[in-house]
Homo-oligomer: A and B are copies of this chain.
Amino acid sequence: MSDHLENIPELAVSRLLRYHHILMGMSQGDVVSSSDLSEKTGYTAAQIRRDLTYFGQFGTPGRGYTVDSLRNAIADVLGINRESNVLIMGVGRVGAALLHYESFEKHRFHVVAAVDVDPEKVGLEMGRFKVRSVEDLSDIVTEGDIRMAILCVPPAQAQTAVEQLVRAGIRAILNLTAMPVDVPDDVSVRPVNLAVELEWLAMAQSRRGGSRGEKAVPETGFNEKKKGGD
């Protein structure tokens, strides 16, 4: 089994990441069926089973899958079954907020350093971190065995900051700056732009009620439930 990631359709990969995330929220020992997962994801049970066969077989006919082992198998094939150290670049309001973010640990991401250009900020204690200077970036990255960074600098400084990160050895960047950046081919960037996320909601909105007025007293209807995930 365990074909490799290259052979799995792009779209299946994104679903696999979703299954992985859901399985992380379940008790290790439980058993889950493709139709359970279907309910939680909205994908068909057939598709879920199909997705899994791209890289192996993990279930017991008549029973289902063990949460623990399925989660592990998916993590293995996706290559996310490892610990990663992470650096926060820019400790403005957003960066500072992320220094206190709890849920990274559960996913095996360890924030291990915070860096800023501003001499006023360098040396400050923030949460369990002491803010360090961009000038020490290479050392910090090497010593901390860091390959990933979260970019939280002001948009105008995004490109400069990225170049510093890359020069220091960072190979993956989560870009929260709302400013596109250029990187060499061997570096990954993942842009997260909250304004664009709001656009998705605006789209969904206009698809529904559209431009017409809302009901004065909205009914609550928490029965016909729908998952709106994390």
Contact = CB atoms under 8 A, between A and B. Distances in A.
A36 to B, nearest CB: 15
Contacts of A205: 79, 84, 147-148, 171-172, 188
Interface string A214-230: 10001011111111111
Most chain-B CB neighbours within 10 Å: which of A169, A181, A222, A225?
A222
Q: Interface residues of A: mostly helix, strand, loop or mixed?
A: mixed
Number of copies: 2
Interface string A137-176: 0000000000110100001000000110011010111110
A154 to B, nearest CB: 9
Contacts of A120: none
A131 interface: no
Contacts of A193: 21, 103, 229-230
A198 to B, nearest CB: 5
B229 A189 contact: yes
Contacts of A167: 218, 220
A136 interface: no
A189 B225 CA distance: 12
Given A82-B202, A94-B97, A191-B229, A197 B174 contact: yes
Nearest to A86: B198
Contacts of A124: none
A176 B223 CA distance: 23
Given A167-B218, A222-B163, A98 B190 contact: no
Given A86-B198, A225-B182, A203 B94 contact: no
Given A21-B196, A78-B199, A166-B222, 19 more contacts: A17-B200, A21-B193, A78-B206, A80-B206, A82-B202, A86-B198, A92-B97, A96-B97, A98-B194, A101-B194, A103-B195, A104-B195, A166-B220, A169-B218, A172-B202, A175-B228, A177-B230, A179-B230, A183-B226
